[in-house]
Amino acid sequence: MHKHSKPHKLLLPKEIAETLKMPGPKTSHLSFHIKESTDQMNSRLGLAIPKKKARRAIDRNRIKRLIRENFRKAAITPFSDIVVKLNRAVGMQTRGRLREKERVSIRKQIQLHLTNNLE
């Protein structure tokens, strides 16, 4: 299992809030907020997956895992801070559970925007 080291994480709420103010691409479930950074040696990732949008901890953790995995694979060259935010609740038709169809859709959205738009 790969772990993100501290230099690859956005940890301070102030930094996350500043990055969330930046406009970025949106999909049906996610929005990607990107802030170019000149003083950082690495690209950093922040996640905003609220309990209000994904009720079950299993679903929130799965979404976070998908985002981190694709962030690692997408060797992002410009040094930037990236916050991925869940905008739409998951499991609206399945009593609050993230199902395979939504999981695949979210994975495709992440892959598309992390590999194409951020390189």
Instruction: Give residue 49's pLDDT.
Output: 92
Domain ranges of the chain: 8-117
Listing from the earlier edge strand, what are the strands of the sheet with 30-36? 30-36, 80-86, 44-48
Label residue 1 by pLDDT band (50, 70, 90).
very low
> Who wins on pLDDT, 106 or 116?
106
What does the block give as tokens for 12?
């301070």
What does the block give as tokens for 10?
């956005």
Domain 8-117: top CATH class? alpha beta
Among all chains, which residue has been given the structure tokens 């609220």? 50
- The reported pTM is 0.79
pLDDT in tens, 10-29: 878 888 888 889 888 888 88
Label residue 5 by pLDDT band (50, 70, 90).
low
pLDDT in tens, 77-94: 567 888 999 988 887 666
For 27, the 3-state DSSP assignment is: coil
Q: How far apart are CA 97 and CA 90, in angstroms?
A: 7
